[in-house]
């Protein structure tokens, strides 16, 4: 307990003490010494309570005249003692206490809790399981209804009747588009380089080094650019959406919008979903370029490929179908990531911890969703022969 030293101030302290005195039938508890937060009671409350023996209806008199110094420790102890006495059917006679002490004690005691203030007791296991199950099914319902609201909002937008704040939409567009360029670019450049590294080692064995460009181009355009970009967006933009909307929830901003008659989904969710749906494909194309550049840097460095041969093989390997596949994937990923962010943000509770939970859930749901949907795409592309 090294912290003890700092807890005590330098001045000497007199330990609190107590004795029980019996006088002609009445029992008196005599308290003395210093009763402060920093002297400690060293188990007095428990010890005193155990030794008091009174008949029902008798009273315990308190004498605090020997107490030299006290802060709220003394009234706290006396309040606990009064409650204990009450539970035993005794009364506490505080008549001899100094006036100041009597008043604070009275204040703390008389503002007694209403019956409704009883602490909520943990429910039995069976009831908790049932309650949790009902909560989950309610949440599933909420998810479906939010999706429905987004669809309705989208229809409203197409009809030109959606209510949203244009400046906000532009800010979101910039935040998830232009501002994401450096990180998306860096990650995709590195991923392209990593693919080239792994490929180069294998292809060298077969003397098929010039095929490296094909491999990098296909892997980047078909899979990596879309998936890696979506994962970065999920961690960056999806999390930001969730945190922002969850904080608005806590500030009653969402309630304020509702009261103003503003459709929350149109106002908050629609601009964000549209922004990512627009930006994710653009970022995908940018990622393709940087992924291929990463592959090229490794290819020329490790396998002595020339710029012209690398570029030629890259162009030959790719066709419009690959890009259409990638673009449609990134569109879906963008919608998915933004929906996850907005959904968990809107569903958040109203405290600080809820913002963290919403963000975590949004990122996890976003990434898992992206990978799952990518698997579905892979199966479909295979079936279609793309």
Partner 1 sequence: MPLASEAGADVVCQVEDLRMSFDRRLIQRDITFDVRRGEIFTIMGGSGCGKSTLLRHMIGLLQPKVGQIRYAGQDYWSATPEQQDAVRRRFGVLFQGSALFSAMTLFENVALPLQLYTVANAVETRALVRYKLGLVGLRGYEEYYPSEISGGMRKRAGLARALALDPEMLFLDEPSAGLDPISARRLDDLILQLRDGTGASFVVISHELASLFAIGDNGIFLDADSKRPIAHGSPRQMLEHSEHPTVRAFLRREAVKDAGTHDTVVQSE
355 token code pair: 């913002």
Q: Check residue 75 for interaction with partner 1 (CB under 8 A).
A: yes
Residue closer to partner 1, measured from CB, 22 or 118: 118
| Interacting span for partner 1 (CB under 8 A) from 21-29, 282-290, 326-334, 350-358 | 350-358
Shortest gap between Cβ of 16 and partner 1 (angstroms)?
A: 11
Q: Check residue 69 for interaction with partner 1 (CB under 8 A).
A: no
| Structure-token match 């209510």, residue found | 163
Residue closer to partner 1, measured from CB, 9 or 138: 9
Shortest gap between Cβ of 2 and partner 1 (angstroms)?
A: 13
Give the residue, chosen from 31, 67, 77, 162, that forms a contact with partner 1 under the rule CB under 8 A: 77
Q: Check residue 86 for interaction with partner 1 (CB under 8 A).
A: no
The interface mask with partner 1, positions 90-119, x = CB under 8 A, is: ----------xx-xx--xxx-xxxx--xxx
Residue closer to partner 1, measured from CB, 49 or 307: 49
Q: Check residue 14 for interaction with partner 1 (CB under 8 A).
A: no
Distance CA 215, CA 197 (A): 11
Per CB under 8 A, which of residues 195..224 are in contact with partner 1? none
Q: Check residue 68 for interaction with partner 1 (CB under 8 A).
A: no
Give the residue, chosen from 45, 59, 278, 317, that forms a contact with partner 1 under the rule CB under 8 A: 45
Distance CA 364, CA 113 (A): 43
* Neighbour order of strands in the sheet with 26-35: 17-23, 26-35, 59-70, 91-93
The interface mask with partner 1, positions 311-330, x = CB under 8 A, is: --------------------
For 109, residues 6+ apart whose C-beta sits below 8 A from its C-beta are: 79, 82
What DSSP state is assigned to residue 236?
I
Q: Check residue 171 for interaction with partner 1 (CB under 8 A).
A: no
Count, residues in the chain: 386
Which of 3, 76, 73, 80 lies closest to 38 in space, CA to CA? 73
| Interacting span for partner 1 (CB under 8 A) from 131-139, 153-161, 345-353, 364-372 | 345-353
Residue closer to partner 1, measured from CB, 115 or 383: 115
Distance between start and end Cα atoms, the chain = 69
What DSSP state is assigned to residue 265?
I
User: What burial class does residue 219 get, using C-beta atoms within 10 Å of its C-beta: 0-12 exposed, 13-18 middle, 19+ buried?
Assistant: buried
Q: Check residue 19 for interaction with partner 1 (CB under 8 A).
A: no
User: How far from the centroid of its chain's Cα atoms is residue 32's Cα?
Assistant: 50
**Radius of gyration in angstroms for the set of CA atoms belonging to the chain, rounded to a whole number:** 35
User: What burial class does residue 273 get, using C-beta atoms within 10 Å of its C-beta: 0-12 exposed, 13-18 middle, 19+ buried?
Assistant: buried
Residue closer to partner 1, measured from CB, 111 or 383: 111
Give the residue, chosen from 15, 26, 37, 186, that forms a contact with partner 1 under the rule CB under 8 A: 37
- Are 95 and 62 contacting, i.e. CB atoms less than 8 angstroms apart? no
Distances (CA, A) of 141 to 73, 134, 260, 343: 52, 11, 26, 13
Give the residue, chosen from 19, 143, 202, 351, that forms a contact with partner 1 under the rule CB under 8 A: 351
344 token code pair: 């968990």
101 token code pair: 């002490």
Collapsing DSSP to helix, strand or coil, 227 comes out as helix
- Are 344 and 362 contacting, i.e. CB atoms less than 8 angstroms apart? yes
Shortest gap between Cβ of 375 and partner 1 (angstroms)?
A: 37
The two beta strands, 26-35 and 17-23, are antiparallel
Residue closer to partner 1, measured from CB, 40 or 235: 40
Q: Check residue 357 for interaction with partner 1 (CB under 8 A).
A: no
| Interacting span for partner 1 (CB under 8 A) from 54-62, 74-82, 187-195, 324-332 | 74-82
Give the residue, chosen from 2, 12, 25, 43, that forms a contact with partner 1 under the rule CB under 8 A: 43
Footprint on this chain of partner 1 (rule: CB under 8 A): 4, 7-8, 37-43, 45-46, 71-73, 75-77, 79-80, 100-101, 103-104, 107-109, 111-114, 117-120, 349-353
């Amino acid at each position: 307990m090294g912290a003890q030293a700092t807890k005590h101030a330098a001045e000497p302290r007199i330990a609190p003490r107590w004795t029980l005195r019996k006088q002609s039938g009445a029992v008196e508890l005599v308290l003395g010494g210093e009763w402060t937060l920093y002297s400690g009671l060293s188990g007095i409350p428990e010890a005193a309570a155990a030794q008091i023996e009174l008949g029902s209806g008798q009273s315990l008199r308190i004498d605090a005249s020997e107490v030299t110094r006290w802060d709220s420790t003394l009234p706290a102890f006396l309040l606990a003692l009064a409650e204990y006495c009450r539970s035993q059917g005794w009364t506490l006679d505080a008549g001899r206490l100094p006036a100041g002490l009597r008043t604070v004690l009275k204040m703390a005691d008389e503002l007694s809790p209403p019956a409704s203030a009883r602490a909520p007791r943990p429910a039995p296991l069976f009831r908790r399981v049932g309650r949790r199950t009902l909560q989950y099914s309610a949440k599933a319902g909420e998810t479906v209804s939010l999706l429905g609201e987004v669809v309705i909002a989208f229809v409203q937008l197409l009809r030109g009747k959606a209510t949203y704040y244009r400046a906000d939409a532009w800010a979101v567009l910039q935040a998830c588009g232009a501002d994401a360029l450096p990180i998306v670019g860096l990650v995709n450049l590195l991923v392209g380089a990593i693919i080239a590294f792994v490929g180069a080692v294998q292809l060298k064995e077969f003397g098929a080094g010039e095929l490296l460009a094909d491999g990098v181009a296909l892997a980047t355009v078909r899979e990596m650019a879309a998936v890696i970009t979506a994962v970065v967006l999920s961690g960056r933009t999806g999390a930001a959406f969730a945190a922002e909307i969850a904080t608005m929830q806590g500030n009653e901003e969402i309630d304020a919008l509702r009261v103003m008659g503003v459709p929350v989904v149109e106002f908050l969710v629609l601009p964000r979903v549209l922004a990512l749906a627009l930006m994710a494909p653009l970022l995908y194309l940018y990622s393709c370029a940087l992924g291929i550049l990463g592959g090229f840097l490794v290819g020329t460095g490790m396998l002595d490929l020339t710029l012209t041969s690398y570029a030629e093989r890259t162009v030959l390997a790719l066709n419009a179908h690959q890009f259409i596949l990638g673009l449609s994937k990134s569109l879906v990923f963008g919608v998915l990531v933004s929906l996850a962010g907005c959904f968990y943000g809107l569903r958040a509770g109203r405290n600080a911890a809820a913002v963290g939970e919403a963000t975590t859930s949004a990122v996890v749901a976003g990434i898992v969703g992206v990978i799952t949907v990518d698997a579905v795409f892979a199966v479909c592309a295979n079936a279609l022969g793309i």
